[in-house]
Amino acid sequence: MRKVTKQTGGKLTAKQTAELEALQALPDSEIDYSDISPANSEEWRDAVVGKFYRPIKQQLTLRIDADVIDWFKQQGRGYQTRINELLRDAMRKDAKH
């Protein structure tokens, strides 16, 4: 069964909630794909996995040496994003072991 999540900015109406619950209960075998043409491998050649994925951010306090922070800041705007990318790379490398 597919998991349906709510990703709207506000509250769902009763009608929207009922529609989501009905869709979630619908087995994959009952989905009507007749208006969708079959995709071939050529059409997916340039596809990017996770292109629109945005992980949830969590604010925290972290003590980092001042010279390290200065080094990141000297590289321009987005230093927190660059730190996050380096941490994510380290996490991925560790997960491969």
pLDDT in tens, 6-45: 555 668 899 999 999 999 999 989 988 889 888 888 888 8
Q: Of 57, 61, 59, which Cα lies nearest the Cα of 88?
A: 57
Q: Contact at 8 Å (CB) between 2 and 24?
A: yes
Cα 61 to Cα 10, 28, 58, 72, 81: the distances in Å are 29, 44, 10, 17, 15
Structure tokens at 84: 């996050």
Give 43-71 pLDDT, tens digit per residue: 888 988 888 888 889 999 999 999 999 99
